[in-house]
Structure 1
Amino acid sequence: MISRIEPDGIFGVPDLASQVSVVESGSLAFLSGQLAWGDDGEVVGEGDHRTQAEHIAHRIDRILAELGADRSHIVKETIYVVDYRPELVPVILGALHGTPPPSSTLVGVAKLAAPEFLVEVECVVSVPSA
């Protein structure tokens, strides 16, 4: 089980990210950074942050299903964004987050693994007990 905590006196935006996520039991899985790779190895959504974030969310959903989990089991995510602009926050987080949102860090970066990639997401997941 995961508890989400918004401590009094700590400013945050709880609709976008939880300030603290506590895993109370179970195992953790660490997802490598996910990029907008299609099943054929081609880049999906070249030049489009929204399309890449949506495709990455789909990839993460598939991985979570393999673990018997869903987005509510994501404890922490780190999102790397090329050409970051503040107006991209709701676009990217809207594609990635379930409710409640996990603890989250968004980092603007110069580049990722290849110039076509604009977004990369890595996650820590609390794997549900069988």
Structure 2
Amino acid sequence: MTTELSTVAAVAVNPASLPAFTAISHGTVVPALGLVFTGGQVAWDATGRPVGADLAAQFRQTWANLDAVLEAAGTSRRHVVKETIFLVGYTPDRFPEVAQLIAAVRPEGVPAPASTCVGVETLFADSLLVEIEAVAVLPSSSAVNPASTGS
């Protein structure tokens, strides 16, 4: 089956627990394809204030924010098939630390998604150390939570 991109409707996902933006969304659901694309999530609260001073704390908060987007989109961490992790100051010698952080957020019994880890010089705010974006599939019975969508 071929789907023309011009006929695929997308639904923006913006959970109330995350900062509101007018020009971007925290996630996009493409129902016709059964996919959810998250925007890059970082360690902040609903007001946009950074949460956590070290990588471990920021990693946990970032995944909590991803969970909010995924849940609002009708899916979960269990259905993530691709993730991209951007880390400030990442060097290969930090891989064991990062691998531990990743393992701590993986649901048990679920194959690890395709994953890319990218070292960056900085993110959009100086205090942020990690940004993660994900692609997830929608379970067949999923429905987007209308209270969490918007443009």
TM range, smaller chain: 0.7 to 0.9
Q: Is 1:115 the equivalent of 2:111?
A: no
Decide which of 50, 71, 79 is 1:73's aligned counterpart.
79
* Corresponding residue for residue 45 of structure 2: 38
* Corresponding residue for residue 101 of structure 2: 92
Q: Aligned to 1:88, what secondary structure does the other structure show?
A: helix
AA matched with 1:118? L
Deviation track 1:11-51 (CA, whole Å, cap 9, x = no partner) reads: xxxxxxxxxxxxxx9511110000111122210013x0100
With a CA cutoff of 8 Å and minimum separation of 6, indicate the structure with the bigger relative contact order.
1
TM-score, scaled to structure 2? 0.63
TM-score, scaled to structure 1? 0.73
Q: Aligned to 1:42, what secondary structure does the other structure show?
A: coil
Higher helix share: 2
* Corresponding residue for residue 146 of structure 2: none
For residues 51 and 100 of structure 1, what CA distance do their matches in structure 2 show? 24
| Cα offset, 1:100, TM superposition | 2.2
8 A contact 2:36–2:70 mirrored in 1: no
User: Any gaps of 5 or more consecutive residues in structure 2?
Assistant: 1-31, 142-151
For residues 91 and 117 of structure 1, what CA distance do their matches in structure 2 show? 19
User: Any gaps of 5 or more consecutive residues in structure 1?
Assistant: 1-24
Instruction: Name the larger-Rg structure.
Output: 2
Q: CA RMSD in A?
A: 1.8
* Corresponding residue for residue 138 of structure 2: 127
**% identical equivalent positions:** 40
Runs of 4+ aligned residues of structure 1 deviating over 4 Å after TM superposition are none
AA matched with 1:83? G
| Cα offset, 1:87, TM superposition | 3.3
8 A contact 1:68–1:127 mirrored in 2: yes
Q: Is 1:105 the equivalent of 2:122?
A: no
Q: Give aligned pairs, total.
A: 105
Deviation track 1:29-77 (CA, whole Å, cap 9, x = no partner) reads: 110000111122210013x010001001111111111122111110100
